[in-house]
Amino acid sequence: MAYQVLARKWRPRSFETLVGQEHVVRALTHALSTGRLHHAYLFTGTRGVGKTTISRILAKALNCETGVTATPCNQCSACLAIDADRFPDYVEMDAASNRGVDDMAALLDQAVYAPVQGRYKVYMIDEVHMLTGHAFNAMLKTLEEPPEHVKFIIATTDPQKIPVTVLSRCLQFNLKQMPPGHIVAHLTRLLEAEAVPFEPGALRHIAKAASGSMRDSLSLLDQAIAHGAGKVEEQAVQDMLGTVGDDHLYAVLDALRAGDVTALMAAVEGMEARSLSFESALQSLAALLHRIALVQLAPTALTDESEAARLAPYSEAFDPEFLQLAYQIVIHGRDELPLAPDETTGFSMTLLRLFAFRPEQPAGLGGVLASGGGEGLARAMPVASRVAAPAMRTPNQTAARPPAPAASAPDPISAAPRPVASAPVPAKIDVSPPAAPAVFSRCSGAGQGCRTGCGNAGFRQQRAAVGGFASRSR
The answer, yes or no, to whether residue 187 has pLDDT greater than 80, is: yes
What is the model's pLDDT at position 364? 45
Residue 235 and residue 257 share a domain = no
d(CA 57, CA 65): 14
Q: What b-and-e string marks burial along 27-53, b requiring 16 or more CB atoms within 10 Å of the CB?
A: ebbebbeeeebebbbbbbbbebbbbbb
Range of the domain at 85: 6-174
Reference 252, options 371, 109, 171; nearest CA is 371
What is the model's pLDDT at position 300? 86
Q: What b-and-e string marks burial along 268-278, b requiring 16 or more CB atoms within 10 Å of the CB?
A: beebeeeebeb
The answer, yes or no, to whether residue 407 has pLDDT greater than 70, is: no
Residue 124 and residue 71 share a domain = yes
Residue 132 and residue 166 share a domain = yes
d(CA 328, CA 347): 14
Kindly state whether residue 121 falls inside one of the protein's structural domains. Answer: yes
Strand order in the sheet with 171-174: 90-94, 121-126, 150-156, 40-44, 171-174
Tens of pLDDT, residues 209-227: 898 899 999 999 999 999 9
Kindly state whether residue 312 falls inside one of the protein's structural domains. Answer: yes
Strands 171-174 and 40-44: parallel
What is the model's pLDDT at position 299? 86
Residue 374's CB is within 10 A of a number of other CB atoms, namely 20
Q: Tell me the residue type at 25.
A: V
Band of pLDDT at residue 469, cut at 50, 70 and 90: very low
Q: What is the mean pLDDT of residues 228-253?
A: 86
H or E segment and range at residue 93: strand 90-94
What is the model's pLDDT at position 433? 54
Q: Considering 189, 220, 241, which residue would you say is the last residue of a domain? A: 241
Q: Which residue has the higher pLDDT, 43 or 239?
A: 43
Composition of the chain by helix, strand, coil, percent to 5 = 50, 10, 45
| Half-sphere exposure for 155 (CA within 13 Å, toward CB) | 20
Tens of pLDDT, residues 330-353: 999 999 999 999 999 999 999 999
What is the model's pLDDT at position 434? 54
SS3 letters across 170-187: CEEEECCCCCHHHHHHHH
The residues with which 439 forms a beta bridge, in sequence order, are: 462
Residue 252 and residue 349 share a domain = yes
The total domain count for the chain is 4
Name the phi and psi angles at 75, rounded to 5: -130, -20
Kindly state whether residue 415 falls inside one of the protein's structural domains. Answer: no
Q: Considering 120, 139, 174, which residue would you say is the last residue of a domain? A: 174
Q: What is the mean pLDDT of residues 114-139?
A: 93
Q: Tell me the residue type at 173.
A: F
Name the phi and psi angles at 16, rounded to 5: -70, -30
Kindly state whether residue 352 falls inside one of the protein's structural domains. Answer: yes
- C-alpha gyration radius of the chain: 40
Kindly state whether residue 169 falls inside one of the protein's structural domains. Answer: yes
Residue 132 and residue 22 share a domain = yes
What is the model's pLDDT at position 333? 94
The answer, yes or no, to whether residue 471 has pLDDT greater than 50, is: no
Residue 24 and residue 132 share a domain = yes
The answer, yes or no, to whether residue 457 has pLDDT greater than 70, is: no
- Kindly report the average pLDDT of the chain as a whole number: 80
Band of pLDDT at residue 379, cut at 50, 70 and 90: very low
What is the model's pLDDT at position 206? 92
Q: What is the CATH number of the domain that holds 138?
A: 3.40.50.300
Pair 231, 200: CB distance under 8 Å: no
Residue 141 and residue 37 share a domain = yes
Distances in Å between the alpha carbon of 268 and those of 126, 235, 237, 346, 460? Answer: 46, 19, 21, 11, 72
Q: What is the CATH number of the domain that holds 262?
A: 1.20.272.10
What is the model's pLDDT at position 242? 76
What is the model's pLDDT at position 180? 87
123 by DSSP, 3-state: which? strand
Q: What is the CATH number of the domain that holds 199?
A: 1.10.8.60
Q: Considering 174, 190, 216, which residue would you say is the last residue of a domain? A: 174
The answer, yes or no, to whether residue 43 has pLDDT greater than 50, is: yes
The answer, yes or no, to whether residue 372 has pLDDT greater than 90, is: no
Residue 358 and residue 294 share a domain = yes
Which range in 90-104, 229-243, 432-446 is most confidently predicted, on average pLDDT? 90-104
The answer, yes or no, to whether residue 429 has pLDDT greater than 60, is: no
Burial (0-12, 13-18, 19+ Cβ within 10 Å), 71: middle
Strand order in the sheet with 459-462: 439-442, 459-462, 472-473
Residue 237 and residue 185 share a domain = yes
Q: Tell me the residue type at 71.
A: T
Q: What is the mean pLDDT of residues 290-313?
A: 87
Q: What b-and-e string marks burial along 425-454, b requiring 16 or more CB atoms within 10 Å of the CB?
A: eeeeeeeeeebbbeeeeebebeeeebebee
Q: Which residue has the higher pLDDT, 331 or 423?
A: 331
Pair 465, 432: CB distance under 8 Å: yes
Which range in 92-106, 355-369, 400-414 is most confidently predicted, on average pLDDT? 92-106
Kindly state whether residue 418 falls inside one of the protein's structural domains. Answer: no
Pair 92, 62: CB distance under 8 Å: no
- Please enumerate in sequence order all residues whose Cβ is within 8 A of that of 369, keeping only pairs 6 or more positions apart, or say none: 319, 321, 322, 358, 359, 360, 361, 376
Residue 136 and residue 76 share a domain = yes
Residue 156 and residue 25 share a domain = yes
User: Long-range contacts made by residues 398-401, C-beta under 8 angstroms, separation at least 24?
Assistant: 398/464, 398/466, 398/468, 401/462, 401/464, 401/468
Pair 114, 149: CB distance under 8 Å: yes
d(CA 185, CA 199): 13
